[in-house]
């Protein structure tokens, strides 16, 4: 695990935010998502404080990483805005009291209803993603008699992966307007011809789980070049430059362990490159916007499970099955994501075997972690999987009609529910048996 003050071992047990993990499992049941509030707040502060050393900035929390009402209260208290990608995320943010003018609305295929909801509520910006959306949004704004701030999402042709990045002339992506093909320029021209859309600036998001600073800086250079072109061709300055999220976190021994303060290196690199470009290219300095998700909540999360069946296939593999699985964490099933784990009730026991942690779903690919080192696990042990705060709860499902586990927020030894557990009654709440299928009482 990536040990820190709020994730440590005490009396042989794992302790998160001052709470004993075994006691949390006993009180709330398992599976259980546990979120460390101090970690989340610390990350928000690192991003804000490091950017505040430079010019105007804005930090948005990328809701898709972990979305529920409580997280918006925390990020708003820490001075962040939010990006949302659906009517559901927008509704959650607004119902948690997030100010509409701190919200950016993304998506490669927003519905008309979602655009109406965004405009009616007065979000700060809609991030445009395709040409016909420009006319559609202008029409929505006209019918509601509103002006709407927009960013044009640019695909800068920088494709980044965890440990390397490549530059491609024609990246194949469903997101954004391709810069090299001239589509981004066409989009800007189209926005400037509308009646109700106000061009605020540009947006790019080059990928996720990226450790290298270079691809971010490269994308920034491409966008400032484009800002210069926009100025020359259309006589317009971009007020905002949004470089998305994507900063990498620690999941397993394959990843770098970055202390919270280390994330300031990304933001400083971006802010310095921007200031240099602005000077060189004689641009008006835009507000620098970032929208990290995973790095704010990912390492804050630990999921607790109870070990059930343990099965060894001699010479092949040992499976340790737990009471969760792809319904609370689909990331292994989706893209073979790596995780690390520990026995939260026996933290000082030596890891003596290599096992695969299997979920309880009827799906062979339902694994949580493959080939992890653990002490000899037994039925009833509390198993902790680390770095599950991002893209776990938000990607959870009711597959096999398993209930989505509750989420607790821990801080200074107290634990509060952020999301209540689902009951079996919740699982059938929206089911309807048509009249013709009703059981006839005889
Ligand atoms: C447009 C946009 N912004 C921000 C993010 C957040 O990325 P991350 O959680 O890796 O920081 C994503 C993730 O997919 C994204 O698509």
Task: Tally the C-alpha atoms within 13 A of residue 205's C-alpha that lie toward its C-beta.
Answer: 26
Token look-up 């362990």 returns 257
Per-residue tokens: 55: 């010019």
Number of separate domains in the chain: 1
The number of angstroms, rounded, from the C-alpha of 370 to the middle of its chain's C-alpha atoms is 23
Q: What are phi and psi of 101, to 5 degrees?
A: -75, 5
Beta bridge partners, 155, equal: 178
Atom of ligand 1 nearest to the CA of 127: 1
Distance of alpha carbon 3 from alpha carbon 11, whole angstroms:
15
Tokens of 247: 């900063």
Share of the chain above pLDDT 70, in %: 98
Decide if 196 is inside a domain. yes
For residue 245, how far is its CA from the centre of ligand 1 (angstroms)? Answer: 5
- Closest atom, ligand 1, to C-alpha of 247: 11
**What CA–CA distance (Å, rounded) separates 227 from 236?**
9
**203 close to 127: Cβ distance less than 8 angstroms:** yes
Local confidence band at 171 (pLDDT 50, 70, 90 cut-offs): low
pLDDT in tens, 265-280: 999 999 999 999 999 9
Provide the annotated active-site residues: 362
In a domain? residue 343: no
User: How crowded is residue 344: how many other Cβ atoms within 10 Å of its Cβ?
Assistant: 26
Q: What is the pLDDT of residues 246-304, one digit of tens each?
A: 999 999 999 999 988 899 999 999 999 999 999 999 999 999 999 999 999 999 999 99
User: Which residue, 120, 112, 110, is CA-closest to 85?
Assistant: 110
Averaged pLDDT for residues 97-112: 97
Any atom of ligand 1 within 6 Å of the Cβ of 65: yes
Three-class DSSP category at 275: helix
- Prediction pTM value: 0.96
Which of 359, 141, 146, 340 shows the shortest CA–CA distance to 252? 340
Q: Note down the domain range covering 273.
A: 106-292
**Ligand 1 within 6 A of CB of 13:** no
Q: What is the CATH number of the domain that holds 229?
A: 3.20.20.10
Name the one residue in this structure whose structure tokens are 């202390």. Answer: 259
Domain annotation covers residue 113? yes
Q: Confirm whether 218 is domain-assigned.
A: yes
């Amino acid at each position: 695990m990536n040990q820190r003050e709020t994730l440590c071992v005490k009396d042989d047990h794992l302790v998160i935010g001052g709470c004993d993990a075994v006691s949390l499992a006993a009180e709330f049941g398992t599976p259980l998502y546990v979120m460390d509030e101090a970690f989340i707040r610390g990350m928000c502060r690192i991003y804000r404080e490091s950017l505040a050393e430079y010019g105007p900035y804005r930090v948005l929390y990328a809701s898709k990483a972990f979305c529920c009402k409580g997280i918006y209260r925390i990020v708003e208290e820490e001075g962040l805005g939010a990006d949302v990608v659906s009517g559901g995320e927008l509704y959650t943010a607004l119902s948690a009291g997030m100010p509409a003018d701190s919200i950016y609305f993304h998506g490669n295929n927003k519905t008309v209803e979602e655009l109406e909801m965004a405009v009616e509520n007065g979000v700060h910006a809609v991030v445009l993603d395709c040409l016909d959306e420009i006319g559609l949004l202008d029409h929505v704004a006209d019918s509601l008699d509103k002006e709407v701030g927009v960013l044009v999402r640019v695909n800068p042709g920088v494709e980044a992966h965890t440990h390397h990045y490549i530059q491609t002339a024609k990246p194949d992506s469903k997101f954004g307007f391709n810069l090299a093909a001239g589509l981004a320029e066409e989009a800007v021209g189209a926005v400037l011809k509308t009646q109700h859309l106000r061009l605020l600036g540009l947006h790019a998001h080059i990928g996720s789980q990226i450790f290298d600073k270079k691809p971010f800086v490269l994308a920034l250079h491409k966008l400032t070049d484009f800002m210069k072109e926009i100025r020359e061709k259309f006589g317009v300055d971009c007020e905002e430059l949004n470089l998305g999220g994507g900063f990498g976190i620690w999941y397993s021994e394959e990843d770098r362990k970055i202390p919270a303060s280390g994330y300031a290196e990304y933001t400083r690199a971006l802010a310095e490159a921007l200031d240099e470009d602005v000077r060189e290219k004689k641009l008006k300095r835009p507000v620098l916007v970032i929208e990290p998700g995973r790095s704010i909540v990912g390492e804050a999360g630990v999921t607790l499970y109870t070990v059930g069946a343990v099965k060894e296939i001699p010479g092949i593999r040992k499976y340790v099955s737990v009471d969760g699985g792809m319904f609370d964490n689909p990331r292994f099933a989706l893209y073979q994501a790596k995780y690390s784990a520990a026995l939260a009730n026996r933290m000082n026991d030596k890891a003596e075997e290599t096992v695969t942690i299997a979920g309880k779903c009827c799906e062979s690919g339902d694994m949580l972690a493959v080939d992890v080192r653990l002490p000899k696990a037994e039925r009833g042990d509390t198993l902790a999987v680390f770095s599950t705060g991002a893209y776990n709860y938000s990607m959870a499902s009711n597959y096999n009609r398993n209930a989505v586990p509750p989420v607790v927020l821990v801080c200074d030894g107290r634990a509060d529910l952020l999301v209540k557990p689902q009951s079996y009654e919740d699982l059938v709440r929206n089911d309807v048996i048509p009249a013709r299928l009703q059981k006839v009482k005889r």
